């Protein structure tokens, strides 16, 4: 039985990393969360959004290149559609909302 956060993190480290499809990934809080998930070995990521902005923000984190893919799609509605398709096709396991309005997501 898991009784604290440390035990939860230890348990997560024993499972196969999940692929997270992140829509509108151009935010420090969003990429910070992805950084923590990758650092614990929980995840790898597919980052949808403006590639130049995402790359400039990623420079602040030490995320290995092989842990993420950037898909340049600045149109939020198309990015949502593409990310949902990836989850439906089994190419991603988890759908995550970044800096995007809930009405679109």
pLDDT higher than threshold 90 for residue 84: yes
More confident site: 5 or 35: 35
Between residues 16 and 81, which one has the greater pLDDT?
81
Edge-first strand listing for the sheet containing 94-97: 68-72, 43-49, 18-23, 94-97
Residues in the chain: 105
**Percent of the chain's residues with pLDDT above 70:** 100
- Compute the CA torsion angle 24, 74, 91, 6 (nearest 10 deg): -20
Q: What is the mean pLDDT of the chain?
A: 91
pLDDT at 72: 98
0.75 exceeded by pTM? yes
**Domains in the chain: ranges and CATH:** 19-97 (3.40.50.10950)
Contacts of 94 (CB under 8 A, 6+ apart): 18, 19, 20, 21, 43, 87
């Amino acid at each position: 039985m898991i009784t604290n956060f440390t035990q939860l993190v230890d348990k997560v480290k024993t499972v196969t990393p999940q692929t997270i499809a992140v829509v509108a990934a151009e935010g420090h809080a969003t990429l910070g969360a992805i950084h923590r998930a990758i650092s614990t070995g929980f995840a790898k990521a597919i980052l949808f959004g403006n590639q130049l902005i995402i790359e400039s923000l990623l420079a602040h984190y030490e995320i290995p290149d092989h842990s993420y893919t950037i898909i340049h799609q600045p149109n939020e509605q198309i990015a949502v559609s593409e990310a949902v398709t990836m989850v439906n096709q089994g190419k991603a396991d988890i759908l995550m909302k970044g800096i995007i309005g809930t009405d679109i997501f």
